[in-house]
Chains A and B, each alone.
Chain A
Amino acid sequence: MALLTTTVGSFPKPDYLVKARAAFSRGQLDMEELREKEQQATRECIALQERLGLDILVDGEMYRGDMATYFAEHLDGFRISGLVRSYGNRYYRKPIIVGPVRWRGPITVDWFRFAQSLTPKPMKAILTGPYTMMDWSFDEHYGDRRDAALDLARALHEEVVALYQAGARYIQIDEPAISTRPEEIELAIETMQIMTAGLEGCKTITHICYGEFEKIYPQMLRLAVDQIDLEMSNSGFDMLQLFRSHPFEKEIGLGVIDVHTHVIEEVDTVVERIEMALEVFRPEQVYVDPDCGLKTRTSEEAEAKLRVMVEARDRVRKKLSLA
């Protein structure tokens, strides 16, 4: 099967869940009631993905807030900071490393099992990677970026193993921070080696957000994963030029939908993007997905964008007479 479709991980949270989360944080809703809403939203999210005809599904991350803070809350050695501004009127809480980072038990495994039980299609398990966790945390304990990242990798690897034992055969490790500090690519490679060790018969993937790719290519091909998922449409497909000069030997998660705009792409535009990529990649190498998580879009926008994506993929398959 060539040109399988998937998504990067997060989906928009429905209004009732946003409200429930707010009520929970004010102490007006208990954990069980919140959990129920999260499960309902997860069910709806998976039903949507099936309806759209996506090939590899995700749980939609309905139970996660910030991608780094969520994991920090469930690991030993972390405290969560007060509010810090990210942009405009947006604030978030940042993890603080206050002691040795250790895995204290499964974090996302129950959610993986729950999500997989709702569909016969393969469910992709997704974690925030150790390099990004380190880069996005305050460090009061290690005083050394490498030491912190390596301990995080060892802790999160236990989560990876637990997911694998629970049946996950697609495991994605999100490392959006990799492309923001090209000088630390070797550290990211070292931590990824730890993360994906010993996963026989499991497809390993890393998602990297847009950044200075020209500075980390081709080194990033040494990341110990089968597939690298990139924001291609946001970068105007400039990276294809890089891939021509040095072949991209891994599978590619091909971001063909811009998640930063309200505008719904034309099917033709997305067909073009896929065809451009096929000048450089073999069809079996390519997984079609949006640039990044969809959580900042509205539910309607996310659905419309994914519908366009699947239709574009179908058209390309037909044109090339691919199965």
Chain B
Amino acid sequence: MGKVIPANLNNYPRIGDRPEQQKLRRTIAALDRGEASLEDLERVQREVTREVILEQVEAGIQLVTDGQIRWDDPVTYFARSLEGIRIAGLVRFFDTNTYFRQPVVEAPVRWQWPVLVDDFRFAAEASPVPVKAVVPGPYTLARLSVDRYYSDLPKLTSAYAAAVREEIRALMEAGAQVIQIDEPSLVRHRDAVEVALPALAGLAELERSDSVRLGLLTYWGTLDQNLDRVLELPFDFLALDLVEGRRDLEGLSRWKLKGKVFGLGLVNGRNTKLEDPAELAAAVKRIQDSCGFPWAYLQPSCGLEFLPRDTARRKLEIIAEAARLVSE
């Protein structure tokens, strides 16, 4: 039986319903009123990051994230630092009730400085278990942008890929051992793989030490006929949403015993209904039987920020419990 590591995916609720869990919200409101300073905000962001890391660890998670406490949305935290990008109005993030600010590409896209490295260093120091670094994927960035410069999706994707590559290099230099590239757009468009593959191949082939695991994540859909081509990319793991993308399970079995490592997104990250750990463990074992992975991550199907904080924590506890049951 391959080892199963309980992992968090990317974001995590930054406030909860208890007053002491709301200091970030209060501080930002105070900042808007001119009653708090940027230093106050910085301090609170650090506190909350530390708290959500410890909350993940207490829940039994063995691969945590920084919760993306500082990210306004999945796109702009990274995109706004790039040359050539202006950040425009709010747009709905896929089919959710949440929003992101849309990047507008007005000039050549260029990476200028590391955005995620300081956050990674801080999280790594605060966490007793390994921390995963998460970067937005080039294809998703391109798909969610307004392109006023390249007027060409493949070209924009490869320009974003060059920037993402620099960020990943910087993260590796800072000691990140697990790095995940988030590409939800990959399951939304029929031609996604045609357009995204060259750019993603470039990232998958990035030179790295044997201890680094560089992987790809999709969520809220299925790769279907594109699954094989994505699995051919030399990433160290492929993380999938196996709730809304259940259909891909069948395709995974074609890769049985080929040494592929999967992130199993089996816990619904956007429904409050709680999974049963025993059923979850049974599902993992069935996948192990059909796919024969050497090891895998067990994780939410999408970021947990779509849930209330207490439910998000419960979901992590269920993941940890199921992983324990699998290894028994």
Query: Are B97 and A81 closer than 8 Å at their CB atoms?
Result: no
A64 beta carbon closer than 8 Å to chain B: no
A139 to B25: give the CA distance in the assembly, Å. Answer: 27
Query: Are B305 and A85 closer than 8 Å at their CB atoms?
Result: yes
Task: With A82-B308, A82-B310, A139-B273 given, name 20 new contacts (CB 8 A).
Answer: A81-B308, A82-B309, A82-B311, A85-B14, A85-B305, A87-B98, A87-B99, A87-B100, A89-B25, A89-B29, A89-B32, A91-B25, A94-B97, A94-B308, A135-B95, A138-B271, A138-B273, A140-B271, A140-B273, A181-B95
Which residue of A is nearest B27, CB measured? A89
* Chain A positions within 8 Å of B16 at CB level: 82-83
B residues whose Cβ falls under 8 Å from a Cβ of A: 13-17, 25, 28-29, 32, 72-73, 89-90, 92, 95, 97-100, 270-273, 305-311
* Chain B positions within 8 Å of A138 at CB level: 270-273
Number of residue pairs A-B, CB distance < 8 angstroms: 63
Which residue of B is nearest A79, CB measured? B272
User: Pick the contact of A86 from B97, B270, B273, B309 — CB < 8 Å?
Assistant: B97
* Chain A positions within 8 Å of B17 at CB level: 82-83
* Chain B positions within 8 Å of A86 at CB level: 97-99
* Chain A positions within 8 Å of B32 at CB level: 89
Query: Are A83 and B308 closer than 8 Å at their CB atoms?
Result: yes
User: Pick the contact of B272 from A87, A135, A140 — CB < 8 Å?
Assistant: A140
* Chain B positions within 8 Å of A180 at CB level: 92, 95
Return the CB mask of A240-282 against B: 1 if under 8 Å, else 0.
0000000000000000000010000000000000000000000
Distance of A142 from chain B, by nearest CB (Å): 10
Query: Are B99 and A139 closer than 8 Å at their CB atoms?
Result: no
Distance of A89 from chain B, by nearest CB (Å): 4
User: Pick the contact of A83 from B15, B89, B90 — CB < 8 Å?
Assistant: B15
* Chain B positions within 8 Å of A211 at CB level: 92
A136 beta carbon closer than 8 Å to chain B: yes
A323 beta carbon closer than 8 Å to chain B: no
Which residue of B is nearest A96, CB measured? B272
A82 to B271: give the CA distance in the assembly, Å. Answer: 13
Query: Are B311 and A81 closer than 8 Å at their CB atoms?
Result: yes
Specify which of A81, A89, A180 lies most central, judged by the most chain B CB atoms within 10 Å of its CB.
A89
Query: Are B72 and A84 closer than 8 Å at their CB atoms?
Result: no
A120 beta carbon closer than 8 Å to chain B: no
* Chain A positions within 8 Å of B273 at CB level: 138-140
A27 beta carbon closer than 8 Å to chain B: no
User: Pick the contact of A136 from B13, B25, B90, B97 — CB < 8 Å?
Assistant: B97
* Chain A positions within 8 Å of B271 at CB level: 138-140
* Chain B positions within 8 Å of A88 at CB level: 28, 72
A313 to B142: give the CA distance in the assembly, Å. Answer: 41
Which residue of A is nearest B18, CB measured? A82
A180 to B188: give the CA distance in the assembly, Å. Answer: 13
* Chain A positions within 8 Å of B90 at CB level: 87, 260
Which residue of B is nearest A82, CB measured? B308
Distance of B204 from chain A, by nearest CB (Å): 31
A302 to B270: give the CA distance in the assembly, Å. Answer: 35
* Chain B positions within 8 Å of A91 at CB level: 15, 25
Distance of B146 from chain A, by nearest CB (Å): 13
A279 to B63: give the CA distance in the assembly, Å. Answer: 60
A94 to B306: give the CA distance in the assembly, Å. Answer: 10
Distance of B97 from chain A, by nearest CB (Å): 6
Query: Are A84 and B307 closer than 8 Å at their CB atoms?
Result: yes
Distance of A68 from chain B, by nearest CB (Å): 9
Distance of A96 from chain B, by nearest CB (Å): 5
Query: Are A81 and B305 closer than 8 Å at their CB atoms?
Result: no
A85 to B74: give the CA distance in the assembly, Å. Answer: 13
A86 to B29: give the CA distance in the assembly, Å. Answer: 15
A3 to B95: give the CA distance in the assembly, Å. Answer: 34
Taking A81-B272, A140-B271 as contacts, is the C-beta distance between A87 and B89 under 8 angstroms?
no
Query: Are A85 and B13 closer than 8 Å at their CB atoms?
Result: yes
The list of the 5 closest CB pairs from A to B, nearest first, reads: A82-B308, A140-B273, A87-B99, A138-B272, A82-B17
Distance of A147 from chain B, by nearest CB (Å): 15
